[in-house]
Amino acid sequence: MQQKRSRRSRRHRRPMPPWLPLIPTVLLAAGVGLYYGATDGFYVPSESMEPTLQKGDQFRAEVWHSLQKGPKRGQIWVLHNPRPLDDNGPYLVKRVVGLPGEKIAVAKGKLLIDGKPLEETYVREPIKYTISPVKLGPDDYWLLGDNRNNSQDSHTWGPAKRSGLMGRAFVLYWPFEHFKWL
């Protein structure tokens, strides 16, 4: 009886499709393509994003999909440095706080969007400078470092154009003890 079962099970086995072993290879290739094609690696060049990001932290930024969708308030973005000859290098890492068409101001230690204070849990301390109201154009974004009083950002060089934005930071991966989704 044992022999009959084994013969029967061999007869009913279906042959493995020839493409089945290719699935892991295709998935690996897609993952590598997304990692190197749709994202890019960056490091934090200064203390301007503390406490969220530390100087020297390394992270990945979406450089294709996020540019299609555009920035949203609160997201951390990489942008071309408007002053590339300063000590920060060719790009900066800042948080988007102002969107096209909004009026930005800073008064009494608070960032104001269209006259209303923006609730910000990620900033290190109250802002020590003031900014008269600035109306953002249709292609303008206001980007600030989380360490507001120690950051070269839109409060020093004005609004950033969308064409100067490189991608949205989405994962901090090094050093590993700082790992987090952004």
SS3 for the chain is CHHHHHHHHHHHCCCCCCCCCHHHHHHHHHHHHHHHHHEEEEECCCCCCCCCCCCCCEEEEECCHHHHHCCCCCCEEEEECCCCCCCCCCEEEEEEEECCCCEEEEECCEEEECCEECCCCCCCCCCCCCEEEEECCCCEEEEECCCHHHCCCHHHHCCEEHHHEEEEEEEEEECHHHCEEC
Q: What is the pLDDT of residue 69?
A: 80
Query: Which CATH number fits the domain 40-181, given the four candidates 2.40.10.10, 3.40.50.180, 2.40.50.100, 2.10.109.10?
Result: 2.10.109.10
For the ranges 67-76, 82-91, 110-119, 145-154, the lowest mean pLDDT is seen at 82-91
pTM for this model (two decimals): 0.76
Is 154 among the residues known to form the active site? no
Which residue out of 46, 66, 94, 154 is catalytically annotated? 94
Q: Quickly count: other Cβ atoms within 10 Å of residue 42's Cβ.
A: 20
Which residue out of 4, 6, 9, 48 is catalytically annotated? 48
Is 151 among the residues known to form the active site? no
pLDDT band at 66 (very low <50, low <70, confident <90, very high): low
Domain parsing of the chain, residue ranges: 40-181
The residue ranking higher by pLDDT, 1 or 138, is 138
Q: What percent of the chain has pLDDT over 70?
A: 84
Tell me the C-alpha distance between 181 and 69, whole Å: 19
